[in-house]
Amino acid sequence: MMLDLLFPNRCIHCNRIIEPDLLVCDLCFNQIHFTHYDYFGNNLIKEKCRLLFPVEHTYALIQFEEEGVSRKIIHELKYRSREKTGKILAEWTTERLDFKDAKPDLMVSVPLHPKKLRERGYNQLHLFTETLSGFYKIPFEHTLIKRNHYSKAQALKDKKHRLESVNTFSLNTAVTGKHILLIDDVFTTGNTVSSIAWEILKAGDNKISVLIMAVDI
């Protein structure tokens, strides 16, 4: 392809030319710190979530590092219109996460406010969620939760202001008796997933598990 010759795909970390369907080269891939969390066991996210809301299981794919490859991956996904990054992260997840015989009933990703969605042009979690849904054969619902207030991007706030911020969510439709896998990109304070989890838990006899792209604790 002429475009591939003129504008070859490059590693987001070191700028080496790589295959069109890749995100990083082999050398930089080896610098990514995967968490190796046990979805059914104890981990840092589960410990944090249990202080905020009742949670069943938790998993994070990678460790978010301010100066590492993981930060560039998340920023490519969220701020540089590289939506396909979500599909790649989902493929890495499927290679490492096994729900065994305890699959959730429904996948729900954290929503963007409509204004933020218009600004960005896409929700960075949708392709990630849809790819996981297809692999695990678990349905997803992008419109179950709505974000009621427009707010500054979490990644652009310092940690003090992340702790002070209050994100308000509500349910678009009633849901009861479901085990819901709540999906977000970066877990820092847990405020966002906690706010959504309580809306789901208040709605009926539901259970919550959490899946995160990158954990920053």
Rounded to whole angstroms, the Cα distance separating 153 from 161 reads 11
* Domain spans of the chain, in order of start: 1-31, 33-215
pTM, rounded to two decimals: 0.89
Q: Is the pLDDT of residue 133 over 90?
A: yes
- What's the Cα-to-Cα distance from 49 to each of 96, 156, 177, rounded to whole Å? 21, 23, 21
Q: Which fold has domain 33-215?
A: Rossmann fold (3.40.50)
Measuring CA to CA, which residue among 44, 37, 49 is closest to residue 192?
A: 49
What is the model's pLDDT at position 165?
46
Encode pLDDT of 38-92 as tens digits. 999 999 999 999 999 999 999 999 999 988 999 999 999 988 878 899 999 999 9
Residue 2's pLDDT is 53
- Residue 163: pLDDT band (50, 70, 90) is very low
Residue 209 forms beta bridges with which residues?
Answer: 181
Which of 3-7, 48-52, 175-179 shows the lowest mean pLDDT across its residues?
3-7
- Cβ contact 191:198 at 8 Å: no
Using a 10 angstrom Cβ sphere, with 0-12 exposed, 13-18 middle and 19 or more buried, the burial of residue 68 is middle
